[in-house]
Amino acid sequence: MDLRKVIREVENFPKEGINFKDITTLMQDGEAFKFTIDEFIKDLKDKNVDVIVGPEARGFLMGTPVAYGMGIGFVPVRKPGKLPHEVESYNYGLEYGTDTLEIHKDAIKPGQRVAIVDDLLATGGTMEAAAKLIEKLGGEVVSMQFLIELEFLNGRDKLTQYNVNSLIKY
């Protein structure tokens, strides 16, 4: 299935010069959404994954159905001040700005094998931050899954020590 056909491109959102990849149109299409989640699961099924982590907010949309489909747990990585219990924090850079991510300190157990799922790889800052948080808690990041990779931003260069899979590249 050609997923490019169901991803809408919006010029100059949220800032001048950004060509925004809108996955809401993919998610509206039941066949395309199912195909996407099944592709993630296909790549993950032999990796002995204990838990899926998804970064807010679009990582929740991609990650939770993957966890459900695999019958394993889901852990959110959230923007600051959203998680109610004790957190680990990490600052990172975006294609357009900077941000902080947090994870509950007790969400990952030492030795757990973790796959991180997100909609898009741009500069790689979000994924690197999520991985650092997981590793700080003693988890092992065994896979990073993206629906979309923006190759011209070279996000993979930040993630060379990890197993990275993306379904479509621009």
Ligand X SMILES: O=P(O)(O)OC[C@H]1O[C@H](OP(=O)(O)OP(=O)(O)O)[C@H](O)[C@@H]1O
Site residues, ligand X (CB under 6 A): 55-59, 94-95, 99, 118-126, 155
- Binding partner of 44, given ligand ADE, ligand X, none, CB within 5-8 angstroms per partner class: none
- Binding partner of 39, given ligand X, ligand ADE, none, CB within 5-8 angstroms per partner class: none
One-letter-per-residue 3-state SS of 7-59: CEEEECCCCCCCEEEECHHHHHCHHHHHHHHHHHHHHHCCCCCCEEEEECCHH
58 catalytic residue (yes or no): yes
Best CA proximity match to 35, nearest among 66, 10, 59, 13 = 66
Looking at the Cβ atoms of 57 and 109, the one nearer to ligand X is 57
- Binding partner of 21, given ligand ADE, ligand X, none, CB within 5-8 angstroms per partner class: ligand ADE
Kindly report the number of other CB atoms within 10 A of residue 166's CB atom: 19
> Who contacts 38 (Cβ-Cβ below 8 Å, separation ≥6)?
69
Looking at the Cβ atoms of 50 and 95, the one nearer to ligand ADE is 95
**Interface size with ligand ADE, residues (CB under 6 A):** 8
Instruction: Give the separation between CA 10 and CA 6, rounded to whole angstroms.
Output: 13
Candidate list 66, 122, 127, 133; residue touching ligand ADE; CB under 6 A: 122
Based on the shown chain and the rule CB under 6 A, indicate whether residue 140 belongs to the binding site for ligand ADE. Answer: no
Catalytic residue, chosen from 4, 11, 58, 151, is: 58
Query: Scanning residues 2 to 41, which ones bind ligand ADE (CB under 6 A)?
Result: 18-21
Min. distance of Cβ 153 from ligand ADE in angstroms?
8
Q: Is there a contact between 105 and 85 (Cβ–Cβ < 8 Å)?
A: yes
